[in-house]
Every structure is written in C-alpha cells, then in structure tokens.
Chains A and B, each alone.
Chain A
Amino acid sequence: MIAYFSNLATLVAIFGILAVTLNFMVGFAGIFSVAHAVFFGLGAYAGAQIALTVTPNPFLACAVAAGIAGVLSLCLALPALRVRGEYFVAASLGLQMVALTLFSEVKSLTGGIGGLTNIPRPQVFDVEVGVLPLALLALGVLLWAIHAMANGSFGRTLKAIRDAESAAEALGKPVAVAKALAVAFACAGAGVAGALFALHMSFVNVESFTLDQSVLVMAMVIVGGTGTLFGPLVGAVLLLSLPSALSFLTFIPPTEVGSVQQIIYGLAMTLLMVFRPAGLLGDQNKGKSHA
C-alpha cells in the first residue's frame, strides 16, 4: 500500500511538473500547445540514455534532458510561433504526430516501439536516491521560478502578449523572442519531468508520449485553472487519482473501469466548464464574456 501511494505521489509530482510548465505557456503566454508530451518524451529518452550509458546521477540526466528538450523546442517552435493562436494548436498537433513517428523509428536512440529498458536507479555519490524527493524538489524549484517570473517583468511581457500581441509589439517588445523563451523554459521543464519519469519507471517507450498524454496534461491545466500557480497541480492530483479512486469501487467490473473513467472524465470536464469556466482555482471573472 505504501509502495502504491509512493508510486502515485511520484507520478503526481512528475505530471505536476508537466502541468505547471504547460500552464506557463498556456496561461501566461497564451501559447496553446498539444505537443507537451513530445518534450516529456525527449527528456525521458535523453535522461534514460544518460543513466544507461554515462552515469546514474539524476542531476546530470535532468540537466541534459532539460537542455535537449529546451533547445529542440526552440528549433521546432520558432517557425511555428510565426503563426497565431489557433494555428499554433494545429502546428503543435502536427509536431506531436511527427515526433511520435520519430520516437518509434529512431531505434538507436529510443529503442523503437520496445523502448528503453533496465534503466538503473538514480544514484548520487554511489547512494541510491528515490525519484519522489527528486521530483518534489524539481517541482518546488519550478513553482518558485514560475512564481517569480509571473510577478516580474517577464511574466508581465508574456501576459501583455497574450492579451494584445500587437500592442505589446508596438511598445517595443520583440514578441517572438519572449514567446520562444517561454516555450523553451516550459519545454525544458517537461524534459526534466521526462528524465524523472524514465528513472522512476526504469523503462520508457513511445506509448507514454502520445497525443493522449498531451491532452491529459492540457486537461490538468484547464481543470485546475489556467494562469494560476497551483491550479495545474490540483488538476494533476485529481486526474491522476481518479483512475485509482475508481479501482476502489469494487462494484464496477474491472473490464469496464476504462469506459466508466472516460465517462466520468467527460462529465466532470463538461460540468466544470459550465460552472467554473476558469478552472477550480481560476479567477471566475476571467471566464465570463464582457460586453
């Protein structure tokens, strides 16, 4: 039972990282990406390769994962950032599809469909460390950084771009640079989550980095409240605990759990958007339309 909750807590922390970093893009910069799982995946493969071939030190795995995910997000996002709003969603959707194919095909780096296995436990100075404290540490650092940015000039720049891009540009702000930085930061964070995920599972394959996963993370952000600091974390806790909670309801036959879960997800999301359109922790005035 302890192992069960420790596993759940670790996953919540890892998906919490994904949700708070995606929220940084969506809630502050207004960049709607459905490709967050791609950078999660890049980080996972990078972290796994470091652990398998270089060192079991998790800090190096996380740093390399963050670097690779962050830099690649720049290469991929820069052309896409030239398009606006809803077109970026389509562009990120395309990226998600391409990346998934690459993940399955570039076997030398990703292990193909089978994935990478036997990833060693993380060690710092020859002492094995749990992934849970590492993930909590990373989550804490990221939340602190996001909080600092949100209340500083960078957050203000991103929010200005989100609310009126042309007006922000007319005030001398190079909008593309700010957006690219926001994307790189968020995707580097997703990379860290990926590395921790690989170390935690000790095995990764392409199934963890699908469009479904990207959508799940987006749902966490929206359910918790976009643009809030802790909302996405609440979303991560809820959406990850739901399947476990359902499995405790013994009257649902195990074969039906999947579809019952889908129905509950769907109903809950719909009701939430009707009654709390800005998410659980969101400022409800935001969701309202103003005349």
Chain B
Amino acid sequence: MTQLANNAPLTCEGLARSFGGVKAVQGVSLALPAGAVTALVGPNGAGKTTVFNLITGNLKADEGTAQIRGRPIIGLKPWQVARLGVARSFQDLRLFTQMNVRDNVLAATERGAWFWQGGDRRARLAAAEAAMEATGLTALAEARAVDLAYAERKFLSMARILAAGADIWLLDEPASGLDLSSRLRFGQLLRDARARGVAICLIEHNLDVVVDLADRIAFLDRGLVLAEGAPREIMTDPKLAAIYFGDRSHEAAA
C-alpha cells in the first residue's frame, strides 16, 4: 500500500459515511496508482458510488481523509476537486440532454464560469474534436444528447471525461449494458488512457470486463474493503465469490 501510494495521485484513508442507520461506507482506504486501472467491485448497495461521492465532495464524509498529490481534498466543493484533476462519470450519466454532442464535449473543456473563458480556445476545440473522434461520436456532433442511442450516450459520457483532460478518472459503471463490440472499443479507450498515465478507478459489475481491464481489484461489501490485490487473487477467493454471487442470486430470487 505505501509503495503504491508513492505513485498514487489519489489516496484516501478511513472514509466513512452513514445515512441514518445505514453505514454505506465504513472506513475505506484506497490508493489509485497512475497508469493503472483499479476496479471497485462489490454487490449492489456495497457503497461503491458513495465512495466516489465522498472523494469528489458530492457527499460530506463523516470520517476519513483523502489527498490528491498530497493535498487534502475533504471539505472541498466538487468543482474544486475537479480542478485538481479528477474527472468522474455518473451511473445515470447526467448528460447535458438538450445540448448537442459537440457542446456537451466542449463544455467539458471549459471550467470558467465568467462571461468568457481564459486560455487557448483553439486547444479546447481541438481537445473536444479529439475526444469525439476517440469515442466514435464525430458523425453525431450535431445530434442532441437526448436523441442518442444507449451506447452512444455511454460514449458521450466518456468523451466528456476525455475532453476534461484530467489525470484521475472515477468511472461509475461506464461499460454496463454495452454490447461486445462497444465494450471492446471502451476497453481500448481505457488502455490508451492508462498508457498515458491516467489513474483510473472503475466500478464494474461485469467480471469479464474487470478481468480484462483491471490491474488491481478492491472488493467492497457493506461499506468495507474486504480485499484488495491482483485480479487473480481476488477472483479466485471462494469467500469473495460467495459474497458476490450469493448476494446476486439472493437478489434474483427476491
């Protein structure tokens, strides 16, 4: 952990958060190394999304600390955390529905809230075009987000992340519901980013995707990290498999 943390732009220690009586997250410690995909897996309601929300400042942590390159970020507002280099996706996407694809992506390159943006406008346009190209959305640039097909929406959410130019990505089930060919394209996006040194945290239920892409896995259950390590160790642990699939069959029966 310490050895990883040296190379980890984002670390958190003992994050905890309850909702009324529900201990959604109880003491989660993580380090996201640069140039690696860390998969956050666990049954429904394990607290995965809540961990993201605590890191990004969308939720207040009851306890715990988090740092970006050594800088404490607990208590910062979401936009401040974003400006430290964190880009996140949402489980429910939250696209700018009435805007077209290009504006969705351009908006991701513009941080200023003032009447005009500082900086290099051409560079922003180029970043947006590149992000659309990489996600296969160039031909749909003028289409409104709300009119896109399911997979296209997922890729638009990824295009915003690409365009934001962040080096820490928190992705909440970005590949869920994608067909095989889309999943392969998505995998390539992630590999390219990893090669550029982006620290990626990937919440994913599909274990094929996890095995394919993850360098490390953190297994979360009822707000606790039960295990953390190389995919081989985690995937072959019968105890974890029982929790993971046990909860699922239980759920299916309900």
Contacts and interface: CB of A to CB of B under 8 A. Distances in A.
A171 B115 contact: no
A153 B95 CA distance: 17
The CB with the most chain A CB atoms within 10 A, among B107, B117, B144, is that of B107
A285 B117 CA distance: 30
Main secondary structure, interface of A, reads helix
A171 B87 contact: yes
B58 interface: yes
A173 B80 CA distance: 8
B119 to A, nearest CB: 10
A172 B98 contact: no
B216 interface: no
A166 B96 contact: no
Given A153-B116, A157-B107, A166-B58, A174 B79 contact: yes
Given A166-B78, A167-B90, A171-B87, A160 B96 contact: yes
Contacts of A290: 146
A156 B106 CA distance: 8
B87 A159 contact: no
Nearest to B83: A172
B107 A160 contact: yes
B122 interface: no
Contact of B96 (A163, A175, A286): A163
Interface string A168-186: 1111111101100100000
A164 B82 contact: no
A152 B108 CA distance: 14
B21 interface: no
A149 interface: yes
A152 B116 contact: yes
Interface string B81-123: 0110001101000111111000110111011111111000000
B77 interface: yes
Given A156-B106, A172-B83, A167 B94 contact: yes
Contact of B111 (A159, A164, A167, A173): A173
A174 B90 contact: no
Contacts of B103: 156, 159
A144 to B, nearest CB: 14
B115 to A, nearest CB: 5
The CB with the most chain A CB atoms within 10 A, among B83, B98, B104, is that of B98
A171 B82 contact: yes
A154 interface: yes
B106 A171 contact: no
Contacts of A160: 96, 99, 104, 107
B160 interface: yes
Contacts of A164: 94-97
A212 to B, nearest CB: 30
A146 to B, nearest CB: 12
A156 B107 contact: yes
B132 interface: no
The CB with the most chain B CB atoms within 10 A, among A157, A168, A171, is that of A171
A51 B88 CA distance: 54
Contacts of A168: 96, 107
Contacts of A175: 79, 113
A178 B116 CA distance: 11
B42 to A, nearest CB: 22
A286 B146 CA distance: 10
Nearest to A180: B113
A173 B96 contact: no
A177 B111 contact: no
A159 B96 contact: yes
Nearest to B103: A156
The CB with the most chain A CB atoms within 10 A, among B98, B99, B115, is that of B115
A171 B163 CA distance: 10
Interface string A247-281: 00000000000000000000000000000000000
A166 B90 contact: yes
B202 to A, nearest CB: 17
Contacts of B87: 170-171
Given A153-B116, A173-B79, A166 B99 contact: no
Contacts of A227: 98
B113 A174 contact: yes
Contacts of A170: 56, 58, 78-79, 82, 87-88, 90
B37 interface: no
16 contacts: A153-B117, A154-B114, A156-B106, A156-B110, A160-B104, A162-B98, A164-B94, A164-B95, A167-B160, A169-B82, A170-B56, A170-B58, A170-B87, A172-B111, A175-B113, A290-B146
Given A159-B99, A227-B98, 17 more contacts: A153-B112, A154-B114, A156-B103, A156-B107, A160-B99, A163-B95, A163-B98, A163-B99, A167-B94, A171-B108, A172-B79, A172-B82, A172-B111, A174-B79, A177-B114, A181-B115, A286-B98
Interface of B: 56, 58, 77-79, 82-83, 87-88, 90, 94-99, 103-104, 106-108, 110-117, 144, 146, 160, 164
